[in-house]
Chain A
Amino acid sequence: MLSINCPWCGPRDEIEFRCGGEAHIARPKDPMALDDADWAEYVFMRTNPKGWHRERWYHTNGCRRWFNVIRSTVTHEIAAVYKIGAAQPPLPDRDPATPAPVASR
């Protein structure tokens, strides 16, 4: 089970949260200018990386607020949590398949 550090409530169990998928998919600024392929890209296409993934989580059974997480899709390790609208922390330069040393967690 994941332990997720909600930016407002602190560390809580995964069962309190829902994952909202890939983060930072910006709504098109000028929707009228989009063709079908652009809409497909916005609505359906996903990066789905094997490695570090920026994703949105929602604290359903807590503060009911959204926030962003950087998580490895290989080990499930959470490297960073940051609020919606905050500056994006850089992705860790560690291998996403190798868990961090225990001391630094």
Chain B
Amino acid sequence: MNSMARYSIFSLARNAFSHHENWPKLWRSPDPKSGYDVVIVGAGGHGLATAYYLATQHDITNVAVLEKGWLGGGNTGRNTTIIRSNYLWDESAHLYEHALKLWETLSQDLNFNCMVSHRGVMNLAHNLHDKREALRRVNANRLNGIDAEWLEPHEVKAFCPIINDANNVRYPIMGATLQRRGGVARHDAVAWGYARGADARGVDIIQNCEVTGLVREGGRIVALETTRGTIRAKKVGLAAAGHSSVLAAKAGIRLPVESHPLQALVSEPLKPIINCVVMSNAVHVYVSQSDKGELVMGAGIDGFNSYAQRGSFPIIEHQLGACLELFPIFSRVRMMRTWGGIVDVCPDASPIISKTPVEGLYINCGWGTGGFKATPGSGWVFAHTIARDEPHPLNAAFNIDRFCSGALVDEHGAAAVAH
């Protein structure tokens, strides 16, 4: 860490003397150089984490991160901030568990408060099939060394007292899985912390710089055309979420992903009332409470393709119906804001973190509705893939060739959430 001023109780006291008006900026805003060893496209959590781990784990610091809008303004700033690793299949469990382990020390590693809160994630079961699937997932998680518990209905009620455990509802609660190490993190802070850490190690973060073309020579990537000129690059990593298809097409690559809006919403701030994350597939909503007191809610995607960062009202109506079934106490809470992010959904609901047919071009996409929780792990393995030109053991299964070989990692319905 060269230029970064460390945050501490002493720096806080020192800056108090100047009325907190002289804190250094978190990152520089340099003009792009003519060329870099590695260029990452997309300054969201995944792209910034990749740049950070390229610098810290692989000693590659001649790196730029290009962002067409502002840093962290895409899905990183639009998700419901849930982190967990209770996935069914081994490949996913290992990848998301690696991420969850990085989350546990992320604030210390970055010297930036990511407000990681291991408050527990409950996934409710509402029918016999849910219950069987949940018990199977608990056992699968434990075999992979991931903490998982099964709660009977009275234990669900004890863990989250405001939940409606009545039997006279359409979908009564028949139990839940609980991952106590799961929880939430401050989404913006993750992007800011990674950006600050990467910048301090020499990474150039260039905002308002849209990639308009990917230049190839003899099957190899050599440069990017951008709205701020041509930038040469030995290697390029794409981490553009919903716009992955658009970018990959510039390099002549077709992807198996489709872009959909995923909507979320928050209520007016309330006093602390729900101290865990509650997710339900069958009635389909997930709910937690932010540190500001807002209820944060999300559910499923809109069914049609879109790049518009907004969806249709029936989706919101559906998830609020589900919310009120679980929490009748919220019936008079007013909703304050809704928004949408554009998620790139893969046919098997698992990501692509992979080399591509174009030499020197790497892609990290297809996270669908569940990318935020993976941010540190995604950056870790993508940095490895770019630096070594071969996948890390944790992302070897998530290559783009699986759609030819048929070795899909089918997390549709298996991943503790309906997609």
**Which bracket fits the contact residues of B?**
20 to 34
Total A-B contacts with CB atoms under 8 angstroms apart: 72
State how many angstroms separate the Cβ of B240 from the closest Cβ of chain A: 12
Judge whether A36 is part of the interface by a CB distance below 8 angstroms.
yes
> Which of B257, B307, B406 interacts with A74 by CB under 8 Å?
B307
In the assembly, what is the distance between CA of A2 and CA of B313, in Å? Answer: 10
In the assembly, what is the distance between CA of A2 and CA of B305, in Å? Answer: 13
A15 neighbours in B (Cβ, 8 Å): 314
**Which bracket fits the contact residues of A?**
20 to 34
A50 neighbours in B (Cβ, 8 Å): 243, 245-246, 259, 307
The residues in B between 324 and 348 inclusive whose CB is less than 8 angstroms from any CB of A are: 347
Task: Please state if A18 and B303 are interface contacts (CB–CB under 8 Å).
Answer: yes
In the assembly, what is the distance between CA of A71 and CA of B312, in Å? Answer: 15
> Which of A19, A41, A43, A75 interacts with B254 by CB under 8 Å?
A41
The residues in B between 234 and 281 inclusive whose CB is less than 8 angstroms from any CB of A are: 243, 245-246, 254-259
| Given A40-B404, A46-B255, CB of A75 within 8 Å of CB of B305 | no
Task: Please state if B308 and A48 are interface contacts (CB–CB under 8 Å).
Answer: no
In the assembly, what is the distance between CA of A73 and CA of B254, in Å? Answer: 18
In the assembly, what is the distance between CA of A42 and CA of B211, in Å? Answer: 29
Task: Please state if A45 and B403 are interface contacts (CB–CB under 8 Å).
Answer: yes
Task: Please state if B259 and A73 are interface contacts (CB–CB under 8 Å).
Answer: yes
| Given A73-B305, A74-B308, CB of A37 within 8 Å of CB of B404 | yes
Task: Please state if B403 and A73 are interface contacts (CB–CB under 8 Å).
Answer: no
State how many angstroms separate the Cβ of B85 from the closest Cβ of chain A: 26
> Which of B257, B306, B313, B314 interacts with A46 by CB under 8 Å?
B257
Q: Which residue of A lies closest to B408 (CB)?
A: A44
State how many angstroms separate the Cβ of B256 from the closest Cβ of chain A: 4
The residues in B between 212 and 248 inclusive whose CB is less than 8 angstroms from any CB of A are: 243, 245-246
In the assembly, what is the distance between CA of A74 and CA of B303, in Å? Answer: 15
| Given A1-B312, A48-B257, CB of A73 within 8 Å of CB of B303 | no
Task: Please state if B307 and A45 are interface contacts (CB–CB under 8 Å).
Answer: no
Top 8 nearest A-B pairs by Cβ distance?
Answer: A48-B245, A44-B256, A19-B304, A19-B303, A36-B404, A40-B404, A45-B254, A44-B403
> Could you tell me which A residues sit within 8 Å of B by CB distance?
1-2, 14-15, 18-19, 21-22, 36-37, 39-41, 43-50, 53, 55, 71, 73-76
18 A/B residue pairs, CB under 8 Å, sorted by A? A1-B313, A2-B304, A19-B305, A43-B347, A44-B347, A45-B254, A45-B255, A46-B256, A48-B257, A48-B258, A49-B246, A50-B245, A50-B246, A50-B259, A55-B305, A71-B304, A74-B307, A76-B306
